[in-house]
Amino acid sequence: MNCPTQCLKRAAVNKNPNDRDIKLEIFSSIKELKATFEFEKSQNIFRSVKYWAMLNTVPPQGIQQYFTVASYDDDILGIFYFQVVPFHMKDHLQYKYSQNASKWKRFKDLCRGLVASMVNIKMLVTGNMLHTGDFGVSWKSDLEDETKQSIWGKAIETTWQSLEKTEGNITICLAKDFEPSAHNPVQVFKKNNYSLYRFQPAMHLHLKEDWQNMDDYLAAISSKYRVRYRRARKKLNGVEKRELSLSDLKHYKKEIFQLYKNIADTVEFNLFYLHEDYYIELKRQYADKCTVFGYFHEDKLVGFVPVLDNDGTLEGLFLGFEEKENYKFHLYHNYLFDILEEAIKRRCHTIDYARTALEIKSSIGAVPHDLDCYIKHRSAGPNKLIHRAISYFTPIYKWEQRKPFKG
């Protein structure tokens, strides 16, 4: 699909392009673009055309992808990545009811469930639901902030309006995972009546420059956490860890996808499933940057964990395991250590462990990193209540941050 082009007169700015008509074109496929382009020599993988093209090849189930290109003549100024996500709240939010809870708590959960069953909408996401971070736009490097703000706000509104003609009623727009200090998105979304909301923080572990191996890491943590490390490693006895090649990923494709689904089906908030070939294509496209470890017990694959070296940040991606083996061998705990070991080996400066399982990640040394999300309802009345509605339905996570490092 190539939506009708819309030309927008941009407010005057101090730097090129000045007093020009900015053209916005919307595509459903990277292949529809007239040219392949990159704006920066060193660019975050998740904000690159190459990665977006890969996702176009192996799209997540339940998500439609669109690309809005802002240009003047043949000069491309920016590309925006959008996802249209169906959201039937009853299917995507899993409430864990407990008969031991108070009558009032059970009554509130029942009410939430009834209301959730009536919420069936489509949501426009500027960014990528697959990853934690601001990956919804890639700019030409020499654009000024005022220019970006002008194009950004109009690109979102134009895309929203255009897609409603083909996708049907898109009720909500979500712009996700911006740094709290980011100036451009704050101004754009404040001007357009978006509500600020923070979900779970991302968990980042910042590696020390002098860590050459795991012994250096262990020397930096207290004896209490060194004991926990050794206990977890001892539990892994009987499990063989192998680095999976591209041919291995093809061979174990069905098993890997089922292990991934074991986890995806149990999380409290899940909007999509990955494509079965996602890990294969990721390895194909980013061979040296992507590592997938498989965990075998008695020659059976019981778990896996993939990582991606993203310009010095090691990204922990969607993993999987058998629940029984996870409990027996402490697989998840060991995954976190193996990701850390790989990061040290690759000389990365940061690990992005993403959201969820906050406390156990903090026990490795990861710290919470808040990210701002902005959300808007199409109608003015519901938009005034949307922050309260999200708070009502979002599960509350109580956790204690661990601090394993000395001093």
Element (H, E) at 233: helix 223-235
State the pTM of this model: 0.87
- Characterize 262-299 residue by residue with b for buried, 16 or more Cβ atoms within 10 angstroms of its Cβ, and e for exposed: ebeeeeeebbbbbbbebbbbbbbbbeebbbbbbbbbee
CATH domain 202-369 topology:
Aminopeptidase (3.40.630)
Q: In terms of Cα–Cα distance, which of 80, 64, 68, 82 is closest to 167?
A: 64
By 3-state DSSP, what share of the chain in percent is helix, strand and coil, each rounded to 5?
40, 25, 35
Q: In terms of Cα–Cα distance, which of 280, 277, 322, 333 is closest to 298?
A: 322
- The single residue listed with the structure tokens 């209490």 is 224
3-class DSSP state of 108: helix
Judge whether 6-199+371-393 and 202-369 match in fold: yes
Do residues 140 and 78 make contact, with C-beta atoms less than 8 angstroms apart? yes
Query: Distance (Å, rounded) from C-alpha 362 to C-alpha 316?
Result: 15
| H-assigned helices in 347-404 | 358-364, 380-393
From 3.90.700, 3.40.630, 2.60.40, 1.10.3470, which CATH number describes the 6-199+371-393 domain? 3.40.630
Query: Distance (Å, rounded) from C-alpha 33 to C-alpha 69?
Result: 9
pLDDT per residue rounded down to tens, the chain (407 residues): 555 444 333 323 334 554 357 889 999 887 776 555 555 444 789 988 889 889 989 999 889 999 999 987 778 888 899 999 987 655 555 555 556 667 666 666 656 555 555 556 789 999 999 999 989 888 876 778 888 888 988 999 999 999 998 888 899 999 999 888 766 667 888 888 998 888 889 999 999 999 999 999 999 999 999 999 999 999 999 999 999 999 999 999 999 999 999 999 887 677 789 999 999 999 999 999 999 999 999 999 999 999 999 999 999 999 999 999 999 999 999 999 999 999 999 999 999 999 889 999 999 999 999 999 999 998 888 888 877 777 766 667 789 999 999 98
Query: Distance (Å, rounded) from C-alpha 34 to C-alpha 181?
Result: 35
- The single residue listed with the structure tokens 């919470």 is 368
| Phi and psi torsions of 14, nearest 5° | -95, -5
Q: Report domain extents, the chain.
A: 6-199+371-393, 202-369
Q: In terms of Cα–Cα distance, which of 122, 365, 121 is closest to 220?
A: 365
